[in-house]
Amino acid sequence: MELTVNGNPFTVDVPGDMPLPWVLRDVIGLTGTKFGCGLAACGACTVHLDGQPIRSCVTPVRSIAGYHVSPRWRMGYSRRRASGSVHCRSRRRSRHKASHGPSGQYAVG
């Protein structure tokens, strides 16, 4: 099956009923798309399909063939290279450091 993701063509060999986040994350290697509730309620899986937001957790990959998919999170993606290796972009680090407080909970400071 041919897919266009972020303007790049991909050929994936997956069942047509596989949910789109699994294809984006596990097959193509774009880890920015999350799988949340699985019911299209939380919005964690939102991607843009030809510019329109959709909930990808309830979207089978066969229904997006011929469309341009653009995951909304651009930072933290990994991209599989032709050799099969994965290249990860580094995320911007937070200035805050987490540490354990006296109660054992995390404190940000």
In tens, the pLDDT along 2-53 reads: 999 999 999 999 999 999 999 999 999 988 888 889 999 999 999 999 989 9
101: phi then psi, degrees, rounded to nearest 5? -90, 180
Q: Has residue 96 been placed in a domain? A: no
- Tally of domains within the chain: 1
d(CA 61, CA 27): 12
pLDDT-derived band at 84, boundaries 50, 70, 90: very low
Task: Return the higher-pLDDT residue of 83 and 48.
Answer: 48
For the chain, give the mean pLDDT.
75
99 within domain boundaries: no
- CATH code of 8's domain: 3.10.20.30
pLDDT at 33: 86
Q: How far apart are CA 51 and CA 96, in angstroms?
A: 35
84 falls within a domain: yes
95, pLDDT greater than 60:
no
- CA distances to 12, 45, 87 from 53, in Å: 22, 10, 27
| Band of pLDDT at residue 87, cut at 50, 70 and 90 | very low
